[in-house]
Amino acid sequence: MIKKIPATALRIGMFVHDLNAGWMSHPFVLSQFKVTTGDEIAKVIGAGIRELYIDTARGLDVEGAPVQAEVDAHIMDEMVAAVQKPAPARVDAAAELGRAGRIKQQATSVVRAMMHDARLGRAIEIAQAEAVVETINESVLRNGGALIGLLGIKNKDEYTFLHSVSVCALMVAFARAQGFDDETVRIAGLGALLHDTGKMMVPESILNKPGRYTDDEFAIMKRHPEEGWKLLQAMPGLEEMVLDIALHHHERVDGTGYPHGLKGEAIALTTQMSSIVDVYDAITSDRCYHRGMPAPEGLKKLWEWSRHHFDPQLVQAFIRTLGIYPVGSLVRLESGRLAIVIEQNEAQLISPEVKVVFSTRSNAYVRPERLELARSQDRIVGHEDPQQWGIDVARFLTA
C-alpha cells in the first residue's frame, strides 16, 4: 500500500516508493529504494524534500498515514475549490489551433537559431525574441489553451528549444491572468523565453546526457543561471526583470533553490512565476532521461510542492490559468470513453469541452465527437497517459 508521510517520519526499514521531487532535485540514483542507513534519511531531508511516498508492502508502515488514493482525492478537491472562478468570453479553440501550430513551428525555429548563436558566442537577436513574444501574446489573447495545449506535445529531441517557447507561452498566459499590464506581460514573456540561455554554455555531452549526472556534472549544470545572466547582461537595453528571471528561476521560496538560496519575498514575483511554469513544463515533458507525466498529474505535483517550494497562492493562480485538466489532456469519462480536452470551461473547471476519441469497453477508436461536459450526463473520472493507449493527441487536437 502506498502512503504519504512527512520526510521527518522516514525511518530505516521503510521502502521509498516516490521521493515526491523532480528528477534533478534529489541526490539518489533511484527514486525507489529501501532505507538502510541514517545517512539516506539525512540526504532526503537535506535535499529539501518535505513529504514523500512509502510502500508498506515492501517496508515498514506508518500508522495513520494517508494512502495515495486519499491524497489524490484530497488534492483534487482542494484544487477545484481554490481555483474555480466565473468564466469570461473566449475565442473558440478550434479557430486558433491552426494558427497555433504555425506559431509553434516558427517560434521553435527562432529559438533554435538564438541558442545556436549563443553557443557560438554571437550576440542574440533580441528583436527576433521580442517578435516571438508578441506573436505568442496575440495567440494567448485569442485563446491561450490552443497554443499551450500544442506546446505541451513535444518529443525529447526538441525539448531544449520547445521548452523555452512553452515556458514563454505559459508565462504570458499566467501574467495576463494575474492582471499585469501589457508592458509587464511583454517583459515577463521575454524573460521566460530567454530563461535557459545559459544552458548553451553547458557542454552538450552533459546537457543531453541520457542518465543521471555525476556530482561534478550537476555542479556544471547548476551554473547555467549565472552563465545566462552574464550573457544577457552584456546585451544593452534588456530589462532587469529579464535578467532576474534568467538568474533566479531555480530559486525556491523555502531557500532550497540555487544559485543564491533566496527565500520568500527576496525572490521577485515574476521570477517566482517563472519558477512555477519552468518546473511544470519540465515535469510534463519527455526528456532524454525520463518520460514526462500527464498535465493533470503535473499540476497535482505543483500543488503538493507549493506547501514548501512555491507560493501556494501563485500555484493556485497558475492552475486556474490552465484549468484542472489543461487543453490536450487525455481524460477518462464515466461512460468508459477516452476524450481529449479541447476547451476550458472556466465556470466549471472539471467540466471542460472535450473530443471523444476512444472506447475502453470495445478497445477501439470511435468517431470523434465534441462534447460539452457541462451539458452532458457524462463526466470526467480521471486522466490517462496517451502513450499507454497509443493515442496521438496532436492529431486529434488539430483535426
pLDDT tens-digit profile of 271-314? 999 999 999 999 999 876 678 899 999 999 999 999 999 999 99
Q: What is the pLDDT of residue 354?
A: 96
Please report, for residues 39, 171, 175, 307, 330, the alpha-carbon distance to residue 137 in angstroms, rounded to integers and kept in the order given.
Answer: 48, 10, 10, 31, 26
**pLDDT-based confidence at 208, cuts 50/70/90?**
confident
Q: What is the pLDDT of residue 45?
A: 92
**pLDDT-based confidence at 398, cuts 50/70/90?**
confident
Inform me whether the pLDDT recorded for 143 exceeds 80.
yes
Q: What is the pLDDT of residue 157?
A: 66
Q: Cβ(155)–Cβ(139) under 8 Å?
A: no
Inform me whether the pLDDT recorded for 338 exceeds 90.
yes
Q: What is the pLDDT of residue 29?
A: 78
What sign has the CA pseudo-torsion 245, 248, 250, 251?
Answer: negative
Inform me whether the pLDDT recorded for 107 exceeds 90.
yes
**pLDDT-based confidence at 87, cuts 50/70/90?**
low
Closest CA to 111 of 62, 39, 160, 58: 160
Q: What is the pLDDT of residue 212?
A: 81
Inform me whether the pLDDT recorded for 24 exceeds 80.
no
Respond yes or no on whether the N-terminal peptide bond of residue 210 is cis (omega within 30° of 0).
no
pLDDT digits (tens, 9 = 90+) for 214-272: 889 999 999 999 999 999 999 988 999 999 999 999 999 999 999 999 999 999 999 99
Q: What is the pLDDT of residue 85?
A: 63
The proportion of the chain whose per-residue pLDDT surpasses 90, expressed as a percent, equals: 72
Q: What is the pLDDT of residue 95?
A: 79
Give me the long-range contacts of 71-80 (CB less than 8 A, separation at least 24). Answer: 71/4, 72/300, 75/300, 75/303, 75/304, 76/300, 76/324, 78/303, 79/299, 79/300, 79/303, 79/316, 79/319, 79/324, 80/324, 80/349, 80/350
**pLDDT-based confidence at 90, cuts 50/70/90?**
low
Closest CA to 264 of 220, 212, 308: 308
| C-alpha cell, 371 | 462534447
